[in-house]
Amino acid sequence: MPMALNGIVTEHRGNEPHEWKHSAMTPSITFTWHHTIPWNCLRAVWNGLVEGRHWDAVAEYLGLIGAPSVPVVIQGLKAGALTVDRDALLTQLTWQGWNIVEGPGGDYREDGDDPGEAFDNWSGEGMSKNQQATLLAVKSLYINGMRPIQLLNNVDAANAKKVEKAMRSARPTLRGKAPMKWNEDMWVAVTAGRVSEKVPGIWYTKPVWRHR
């Protein structure tokens, strides 16, 4: 199982939330969920806090992602024997709406535009004011709390307090946010799509986008 009984997570992501549905357009394109803070960073912070037994920071992390029964989770982590649904907890750790932007994937996103396991630095253009506030809170959480832990690979007491403070500050803005759904204003069309004249509903030339 990707999450061990003691809470440590391997490289595997959790399953996407079953209630999330991708946007639809005609002709169709491939949509994916893009992480802003990369999964490897989220995992490194979680594992570091758990391994370091920084329980106040772990509790703050669980509060930020909206995990149920935080005291029960903490008790299980301390004992090295989680009793909660580990798959569900891993899904929450992996897929937080505030950290996700829906956009084109595969052949529909420009080569090199996807940062992979690096921070996806959105400009904020094309976003609503509410979405821009979410983006600023995510950037602050990453810069002030999560990125230092990932770079230093060190979750000592001082770094744990920093990320705990950053998560506490971000929680009122971020907790419970839904993913940012497909909004073409947030993207630049590198190649304009052309619909087939002979076979309506399919692309003659596929559109390609990169994010703003």
What's the pLDDT tens digit per position in 157-183? 999 999 999 999 999 999 999 999 999
- Give the pLDDT band (50/70/90) at residue 120: very high
| pLDDT of 153 above 80 | no
- Give the pLDDT band (50/70/90) at residue 154: confident
Distance (Å, rounded) from C-alpha 176 to C-alpha 9? 23
How many domains does the structure of the chain reveal?
1
194: Cβ contacts below 8 Å, ≥ 6 apart: 203, 204, 205
Predicted confidence at residue 152, as pLDDT, reads: 75
The Cβ of residue 211 has, within 10 Å, a number of other Cβ atoms equal to 21
Distance (Å, rounded) from C-alpha 86 to C-alpha 129? 35
- Give the pLDDT band (50/70/90) at residue 40: very high
- Give the pLDDT band (50/70/90) at residue 151: confident
Considering the domain boundaries, does residue 25 fall inside one?
A: no
Considering the domain boundaries, does residue 16 fall inside one?
A: no
pLDDT digits (tens, 9 = 90+) for 101-117: 999 999 999 999 999 99
Considering the domain boundaries, does residue 168 fall inside one?
A: yes
Considering the domain boundaries, does residue 14 fall inside one?
A: no
Distance (Å, rounded) from C-alpha 7 to C-alpha 50? 7
Please tell me what DSSP assigns to residue 101: E
Considering the domain boundaries, does residue 191 fall inside one?
A: yes
Considering the domain boundaries, does residue 117 fall inside one?
A: yes
Predicted confidence at residue 159, as pLDDT, reads: 92
Predicted confidence at residue 168, as pLDDT, reads: 97
Please tell me what DSSP assigns to residue 66: T
| pLDDT of 131 above 90 | yes
Catalogue the E-assigned strands of the chain.
31-35, 100-104, 187-191, 194-195, 203-205, 208-211
Q: What percentage of residues in the chain have a pLDDT greater than 90?
A: 92
Helix (H) or strand (E) holding 149: helix 147-152
Considering the domain boundaries, does residue 9 fall inside one?
A: no
Domain range spanning residue 174?
31-211
pLDDT (average), residues 20-37: 96
Distance (Å, rounded) from C-alpha 70 to C-alpha 175? 15
Distance (Å, rounded) from C-alpha 111 to C-alpha 109? 6
The Cβ of residue 39 has, within 10 Å, a number of other Cβ atoms equal to 18
Predicted confidence at residue 200, as pLDDT, reads: 80
Considering the domain boundaries, does residue 8 fall inside one?
A: no
